[in-house]
Amino acid sequence: MRLTNLEVLSKSDIELIHESSLDILEKVGLIVESKRILDILKENGCNVDYETELVKFPRSVTEKCIKSLPAKIPIYDRDGKITLILGDGNCYCASGHNAVFAIVDENGTRRVSTIKDVEDFAVISDYLSEVDIIGVPVMPQDVAPKTALLYAIKAILENSKKPVFFSSESELINQAAIEMGRAVLNKDSLACGSNLISQLSPTSPLYWEKGAAEALYVVAKEGLPVNLLPQPITGVTAPYTLAGILTLHNTEVLSGIVITQLINQGTPVIYGAAWTTYEMKLANVLIGRPEASLLRIAGAQMAHYYNIPSHTTAPESDSNVHDEQSAWEKMLSIIAGIIGANDMIVNLGMFGTGMSISNKQLVMDNEMCRIVRRFQKGIEVSREAIAFDTIASVGPRGTYLMEDHTIKYLRCGEHVELSISNGANYDMWKAKGSKNVAQKAGDKVQEILRNGNKCSLEPDIKQKLADIIKKYEGIINNS
């Protein structure tokens, strides 16, 4: 039997949060800094004050838009084949996402990131079995700053066939990314299938700033899958209570749902969630505390109430090195993300409160996700699995080593095969160099990178991507 999904909200809890969100939308409203979106909202029955840019969303409009959302979202690979379906009951894992620094040694020494870091991260992500989607890991600092994300997307597309997850609050960057996706898939539109997922965020509390709003317009118009990701902070930009931050967060997601569906009905939406608490004593935001993982579970429940796929951030840690804190925070967040029934988790390879990436950490996070995925599968009980005939045949004082039943189940996933976790006794471990898990992860990184890119992109497509970036650099620099 598969493990029962974790839940932290009752049905009445969910309904109260939903009703409160509708009331906030209708009575308090949000600011939306986009004239064309304000016009669309006005035309569809919302109350718009053009002077203050405050929008109040009638309950009937919000409820109608919720009903138009697709429950499942097919995501394509670079070859144009469906590689996964968000909403099919599985939790898909994405590496990344949007760090600034790269960690270079065991002491946590970090440096600014480069395009080579993105390329290596993509090669490793492509190799790792538990990485289904590749999030842009860092904003490379050795390319033009305004188009750094485009160079990063290009680096991933050139080094992996897996789907790409990216985030930019710029209309032009999102439009350029869409053109890059079309070029790779050789399509005129990504509405009929995309290998890209765009993430866009309102500013908490209750505010769509101009860049994010205009980017949302472009993405929805294309029909690109969009992850709506509010990022409220407890006690700072949201209430300090978990129920309060959850309600504000839910309200902001619903506002994005209304906007996308009124721009282009049926735009695929993911219920995004990056839960952040605030440590008052340190005046610092945190993402690895247990309260954040409770909210990871709650966010998935709200998404499923609306019958749309859910996203959360995991594995997460506030530790700045590969240590025990990193392990326990990351494992808790993965359990909450996967067994909490989220459809996608993003951030394999990150730590230091999302500021840093590490190739070693990516390999270790891959291992942890493999463990939790096996844990989620639970125990299969069937007449064959019970093995009555084999037990009867072996009898007392026998051995099962050479039995057909043992051989059959040896490689079928009944027992998870791990890559870097130690299973050797002390003497064997010493003979192999006494390496800890971080050292073994480093060895795995070097092995993967020595073997290199296994799925390079055709030269003509590479040139098309370069041309798109050059075109948009000109537009952005002159705007």
What pLDDT is recorded for position 473? 94
Cβ contact 231:274 at 8 Å: yes
Cβ-based neighbour number of residue 145 at 10 Å: 9
Q: What's at 108, amino acid-wise?
A: G
Q: Considering just the CA atoms, what is the radius of gyration of the chain in Å?
A: 23
Going from the C-alpha of 224 to that of each of 63, 73, 252, the distances in angstroms are 22, 10, 20
Local confidence pLDDT in tens for the 479 residues of the chain: 999 999 999 999 999 999 999 999 999 999 999 999 999 999 999 999 999 999 999 999 999 999 999 999 999 999 999 999 999 999 999 998 899 888 766 667 888 899 999 999 999 999 999 999 999 999 999 999 999 999 999 999 999 999 999 999 999 999 999 999 999 999 999 988 999 999 999 999 999 999 999 999 999 999 999 999 999 999 999 999 999 999 999 999 999 999 999 999 999 999 999 999 999 998 999 999 999 999 999 999 999 999 999 999 999 999 998 899 999 999 999 999 999 999 999 999 998 999 999 999 999 999 999 999 999 999 999 999 999 999 999 999 999 999 999 999 998 889 999 999 999 999 999 999 999 999 999 999 999 999 988 888 999 999 999 999 999 999 988 87
Helix, coil or strand: residue 183 = helix
* Cβ count within 10 A of residue 236: 15
pLDDT in tens, 142-190: 999 999 999 999 999 999 999 999 999 999 999 999 999 999 999 999 9
Return d(Cα 101, Cα 112) in angstroms, integer.
5
Instruction: Tell me the CATH number of domain 66-377, given options 2.60.40.420, 3.20.20.480, 1.10.10.410, 3.20.20.70.
Output: 3.20.20.480
d(C-alpha 238, C-alpha 252), whole Å: 11
pLDDT value at position 105? 64
**SS3 of residue 19 by DSSP:** helix
Calculated CA dihedral for residues 333, 335, 336, 339, nearest 10 degrees: 160
Q: 3-state class of 394 per DSSP?
A: helix
Cα distances (angstroms) measured from residue 324 to each of 48, 317, 367, 434: 51, 10, 15, 18
- What residue ranges do the domains of the chain occupy? 66-377
E strand or H helix at 372, and its extent?
Answer: helix 359-377
Helix (H) or strand (E) holding 55: strand 54-56
The enclosing H or E element of 254 equals: helix 242-263
283 CB-near residues (< 8 Å, 6+ apart): none
DSSP strand E in 223-296: where?
226-228, 269-271, 277-279, 284-286
DSSP bridge partners of 134: 95, 164
Of 338, 330, 290, 267, whose CA–CA distance to 89 is shortest? 338
Nearest alpha carbon to residue 92 among 188, 227, 223: 227
Beta bridge partners of 312: 345
Would you call 16 exposed, middle or buried from its count of C-beta atoms within 10 A (0-12, 13-18, 19+)? middle
Residue 223's contacts (CB-CB under 8 Å, 6 or more residues apart) are 189, 190, 191, 264, 266, 267, 268
Please provide the DSSP assignment of 295-355 as one string: HHHHHHHHHHHTTS-BEEE-S----SSSSHHHHHHHHHHHHHHHTTT-SEEEEETEETTTT
Amino acid 82: pLDDT: 98
How does pLDDT run across 12-35, given as a tens digit for each residue? 999 999 999 999 999 999 999 999
Per-residue pLDDT at 477: 81
* Cα 372 to Cα 297: distance, rounded to the nearest angstrom: 15
pLDDT digits (tens, 9 = 90+) for 108-128: 788 889 999 999 999 999 999
